[in-house]
Amino acid sequence: MEDTHRIVPYLVGSSKKSFFGVYDGLGAGGKAAEFLAENLHKNVVEMMENCMEKEEKVEAFKAAYLRTDRGFLEKGVVNGACCVTALIQDQEMIVSNLGDCKAVLCRGGVSEALTTDHKAGRDDDRERIESQGGYVDIHRGAWRLHGILAVSRSIGDAHLKKWVVVEPDTRVVELEQDMEFLVLASDGLWDMVSNQEDIMLRVQAQRKTPRENEKENLIQGLVNVSPSSKLRLVSLVKQKTLYIYVCSLCVSYLSETLVVM
């Protein structure tokens, strides 16, 4: 599998900004996923500088994705990758996705998808592809661009670049007290759970186990990385706790980040 992730608890220049990303390589797309994990958050930081309005932030994310795509294409590598990311700053969360990675928020015990998959059979993207001389058909049980790619938007994929766009969907969400946790995951996880409620129940069950060491680290305001659980504790503003789960492939590979706001 070609999934990877990136957690940056403290972005350069700020102790109150954190970035989280899941990157899903397409086919043999390990190089694309690794390139995203290394570069996307840096481009986001640069493009987000001095952005105040929501519209500006959305455009900044689009510009960051485009810059990352150009940088990867210059490598001359054919494969590509999808992703879902979350930037937490001040009292807001900016969630963005490209392809079929997904972000799901648990708010007051109810799940809410914050992103929409960019599948090849999606009506608007299918119309765009066909209007540009491409085609989408069913192959191996799924709609695929030219019988190959199951998504309509991605980073890279130079051989299909005429039809595969780099246009993420981005949402700016105000942080509120009833937000419990956010799950960022590739389709490797979502294909294994029956629905959003299923993943919520699994995550809630996992959190029932007492974690005294984690509580101690939280009180001390430390960033702790456990080799087994890949837990990160990030102290932002000490009022409210939001768990962020960064997942690849399946629940057993779950990484949890505890953000105190």
Question: What is d(CA 31, CA 25) in angstroms, rounded to the nearest whole number?
Answer: 8
Q: Is the pLDDT of residue 123 over 80?
A: yes
For the segment 173-202, the average pLDDT, to the nearest whole number, is 76
How confident is the prediction for the chain on average, in pLDDT?
79
CA–CA separation, 256 and 42 (whole Å): 22
Rounded to whole angstroms, how far apart are CA atoms 75 and 54?
Answer: 33
**Confidence grade of residue 196 (pLDDT, cut at 50, 70, 90):** low
All CATH 3.60.40.10 domain ranges of the chain, comma separated, are: 3-118+153-260
Distance CA 120, CA 141 (A): 12
Q: At what angle do helices 30-48 and 54-73 cross, to 10 degrees?
A: 140
Q: What angle do CA 73, 77, 81 make, to 5 degrees?
A: 75
Q: Which CATH superfamily is domain 3-118+153-260 in?
A: PPM-type phosphatase domain (3.60.40.10)
- Higher-pLDDT residue of 60 and 239 is 60
Is the pLDDT assigned to residue 116 strictly greater than 80? yes
The pLDDT of residue 105 is above 70: yes
pLDDT-derived band at 26, boundaries 50, 70, 90: confident
- Predicted TM-score of the model (pTM): 0.79
Predicted confidence (pLDDT) at residue 118 exceeds the cutoff of 90: yes
Q: 222: pLDDT confidence band, cut at 50, 70 and 90?
A: very low
Beta carbons within 8 Å of 162's beta carbon, 6+ residues apart: 132, 133, 134
Inform me whether the pLDDT recorded for 205 exceeds 80: no
Token pair of 52, please? 């105040």
